[in-house]
Every structure is written in C-alpha cells, then in structure tokens.
Structure 1
C-alpha cells in the first residue's frame, strides 16, 4: 500500500476528530445556546461521538492497518471499518438525543443538558458504577481490548467486509461505554471537563495493560460519587 494513501487516511481521520472537538469547544465556550429541537440535538451528539470515540478507536484502526500488509486487508476495507464503527455510534446518538429531549420535556434536565434532579444524578452515577462490575461490561471490554483477535475471528475482506466487522465491533463498544456517556447528564452535556475525562477513561479502559487495573476502581469512584450526591 502506498505510503501517501496511508498518510492521507490518517490525516483525514484525525482531521475529523479535531474538527469535532473544535465544534464542541465552540459550542461550550461561545454564545451559542444548547439546541432544543431533536434533530439539532441529534446532530450535536453525532459530532460529540466523533470527538469522544475517535481517540478510543485508534488501536482498532492500527490493528487493521497491520492486516493490510500481512493479510488481504485493503484501504477500502479500512474505510468500511471506520464508517461501520461510527454508524453504530450515530445510532446511539439518535437514542441519547431522544433521551435528552424527553428528560428536558419532563423538567429533569435544564437547557444545558444538566440534571436538576438529585435522584436522577445519583441514579445515573450509581448505575454507571455498578455496570463496571457486570459480566456484560467485562465481555465487551475483552472484545474491545483485542481488536486483532476480533478481526481474525470475524474476517471479511473489502469495503463491505470492513463495514460488517465494525458494525459488530461498534455494538460491543456502545455496550462497553454507554454508562460513561450518560453521566454527561449529571453536569451537563456541554461540560468540556466531562467530555475530556470520559474520553480519557474510555481510552484507558480499552488498553489491555492498563484497563484491567482501572475498570473496577472507576466503578467504585462512580458509586461513591452517586451516594455522595444523594446524601448531600
């Protein structure tokens, strides 16, 4: 594979991620108000998914890059891998945008997407913390931490193959990370500290050597935070 194509691919990938972070930063720090209509919320969450999940996807893309030279992977396949992954997260964006719109309608979130209910804030934090200890979380993390093994086990060549494989991987990724996404409602979905912190936590969790020492302590911290919110 020509080096220039590889370089252009990675430049485009990181360019999209940086653009998504710039949009989120502009919305969080500028005079722009939080969108109130569902389609606007959906667009906002879709861009946020690119910003937050893009960095967590780098090890997976590096694994596929290795297969381009050592197996029958292709550049069109890598494009399918990226599109399949983000297609699943755009689907999640549709769901969480609907949830935000509904919670605002019930008066549980303010205009900035932050909870005004102690019960909701505490419940989200405790639920996210408990999920860190579940078997499902463990299975999804094991999947996300071994992208090369998953490619080999479910290998499909070409663009359509990459798309199918990453739709499968994306579903595991959503099941792995949804808890850390929904706690954005605690402090507000435009909170850059939450966005950066959640991105870092999701990235660390997926690293095999670090994540296994990180997942359960994070669960303990979330539960403690939730109980503290409920108590005080």
Structure 2
C-alpha cells in the first residue's frame, strides 16, 4: 500500500505509540510482579508479598495485563485494516477506532475475570497471588481449556481471529465510529477464542511473567495466517495431557 507524504508521518506516529503502549504495559507488569514479591514464574519469594484480593486492586492489574498480552496479537488485524484503507475508504481514525474497540472489549473481560478471581479467593480455590491452592482445580482448568480447543465455539471464534480480513469485508464500516464497532466485534470473537489462556493464569499464578510471555507467544502464533489453524488442536492435546498428568501425580 502506498501512502502520501501527509499520511506517512501519522501512520508512523500511531504505530510507534502502539508499540510503546505494549512495552509500557509489560514494564508495568514487571514492576507489579516485583512489588508483589513474586519471581518470574509467579511464585512468592521473601516475606514482602502483597496479595491482591479486592476487585479494586485486581481490575487495574488485569486491564494492564490485557494490554500487554492481547495488543501484540492485534498486529495482523491492524495490518489488514491498512490494506483496505485505500480500496474501501478506510481512515486512520477508523484504524484507531478498531484498536480502541478491541481493547475496550478486553477491558470488559478484565472486569469479568477480576470478579471471578475474587470469588475463587473467597472459595479458597486460589490464594491472594492468584495461584491455585489445590491440584484438582489446576488439573481441571487445564483439561477444560484443552477440551475447549476442540469445540465448535473455538473454531468459529478462531476463524475470525485467524482471518480478520474476512470479518472486515463482511462488516465494513467507515470512520472512527465504524472502526470502533468493528473493533468491538473483533474483540468479542477474540475473547471467545482466548479466554481459556487467561484462565490458565490461575494454574501457576496470574502474576507469572513466564505464563504471560508463553501465552502471548502462543496466541500470536494462533492468529498467524500461515500456521494458526495448525496449532489449536495440538495445544489442546498438550493441555489435556498436562491436566491428566497433574491429577495423577
């Protein structure tokens, strides 16, 4: 796609801000992990742990985590939107709208999973650092998420995440409001596709930078056009196997 001299600086600025937001979110998560007294795998170290047990403390953490983990997976989607800007009357405002709509959806999920974590803490399923307190809960979660990889719901949601161009062509709206609407829709399908990997944070601790990195990397692979459809079911097999192994140990 060619850009005019006026468009090029704006495009560059927006992409730089986008990547800066990702790096900033990861930096904040690193500092929060250090302040919470956990190591890179999410396990407590020392005596200076700062458990988070209230919605007010958990929601900002999860919202920042959504930015750190999910914004990198959106790069193919934003590139697909750019490919349609000239032929379908797209705009940079629409590009921003797609980005904001997508992130707003994941912030909504952050609120939901924060409530879930509060309930899990109250029922003693996880501790104040979001680490599973029982092997059966961690095992069951691994198996459930693994099984979901084989469901029709996963297939439908993944097909949209895997091919955002198809979604754009079927739901194209111009301008910022149109981009926002499409971003909300894409975000909803993405939540439907990836919610399980967020829940897996409770297996080893939601403050685990190792889990965050591995989950982010896998979700990026899952959305790549060339290989995305080839990794979904193998991942399900691995998760189910890990859950069964954990249950028998």
User: Is the pair's TM-score, using the shorter chain for normalization, greater than 0.5?
Assistant: yes
Count the aligned residue pairs: 232
The whole-number CA distance in structure 1 between the counterparts of 2:51 and 2:109 is 19
For residue 149 of structure 1, the aligned residue among 166, 191, 197 is 166
The whole-number CA distance in structure 2 between the counterparts of 1:218 and 1:21 is 25
Provide the TM-score with structure 1 as the length reference.
0.97
Cα shift at 1:177:
0.2
Q: Specify the alignment match of 1:6 in structure 2.
A: 11
Which has the larger helix fraction?
A: 1
The whole-number CA distance in structure 1 between the counterparts of 2:223 and 2:51 is 31
| Superposition pairs of residues 11-160 of structure 1, within 5 angstroms | 11-30=16-35, 33-160=50-177
Gaps of at least 5 residues in structure 2 are 38-49
Gaps of at least 5 residues in structure 1 are none
Whether the aligned pair in 1 keeps the contact of 2:36 and 2:51 (CA below 8 Å) is no
Provide the TM-score with structure 2 as the length reference.
0.90
| Shift in alpha-carbon separation, 1:48–1:226, aligned structure 2, 3 A | same
C-alpha distance after superposition, 1:150-208 (max 9, x if no partner): 11110000000001111111110000001111010000000111000000111111112
Cα shift at 1:34:
3.8
Question: Which of structure 1's runs of 4+ aligned residues deviate more than 6 A?
Answer: none
C-alpha distance after superposition, 1:84-123 (max 9, x if no partner): 0011100000010011111111111112100001121011
The whole-number CA distance in structure 1 between the counterparts of 2:52 and 2:92 is 37
Q: CA RMSD in A?
A: 1.1
| Shift in alpha-carbon separation, 1:85–1:211, aligned structure 2, 3 A | same
